[in-house]
Chain A
């Protein structure tokens, strides 16, 4: 069984300040973990993925995430938010099966 919990449904930051979107997972197998972003009326875009090669994963647009097995976490961070980062972010787990299991999403607001 696998599941993922996104701890915040909404996060609001000011432009230029750091972003932290929190995700915890549960998996019976060694998981693969992903972050996807969905801009309004757009499709899902892969930001980054963890597949056991390195615990700190760098993605597109300055985002990165750290896999912490002891905490079963995979939080997404960015040092400095940009207005264009406003979107919905999904933490996703895949373990032992092809289908992805999505978290409930975190809506990121960036204030000017």
Chain B
């Protein structure tokens, strides 16, 4: 079946512009995650959705970053007034419903190919 898809694959923007990044999770996956991969910071968690709600937004670096998820499926990560330090690869992952013995942390996350954002 289809994996996690992300669009666009590459995005070049000018400092100060807003950008929207899209993630289509695997069909039936209820949990969706956004991560950022940058040279200086490695791979960092941004936000997690369960259905349409976001119980963990602790990784969003500033109020310029927001995300939403509609219909329990597609998610959009929006970065307003982009800065050069926002340049990174933004990764989306999804995981299936259900708990393994009640342990949330055992769900495997399946990653998309990422969106490479370059802010000039």
Contacts and interface: CB of A to CB of B under 8 A. Distances in A.
Given A43-B113, A102-B43, A97 B104 contact: yes
Interface residues of A, number: 25
A42 B105 contact: no
Contact of A101 (B45, B93, B113): B45
Interface stretch (A61-69, A79-87, A88-96): A88-96
Interface in A11-38: 29, 31-32, 34, 36
A99 B42 contact: no
Interface string B61-105: 000000000000000000000000000000101000000100111
12 contacts: A43-B111, A44-B111, A94-B105, A96-B105, A97-B105, A98-B31, A98-B50, A99-B45, A100-B35, A102-B35, A104-B42, A105-B43
Interface in A32-54: 32, 34, 36, 42-46, 49, 51
Contacts of A29: 105
Interface residues of B, number: 30
Contacts, number: 64
Contacts of A98: 31, 33, 48, 50, 55-56, 104-105, 107
A36 B109 CA distance: 10
B108 A99 contact: no
B112 to A, nearest CB: 6
B100 A51 contact: yes
A49 B100 CA distance: 13
Given A32-B103, A95-B105, A99-B56, A42 B113 contact: yes
Contacts of A99: 33, 45, 48, 56, 58-59
B25 interface: no
A104 B104 CA distance: 24
Nearest to A102: B43
A51 B45 contact: no
B110 to A, nearest CB: 8
A46 B108 contact: yes
A77 to B, nearest CB: 21
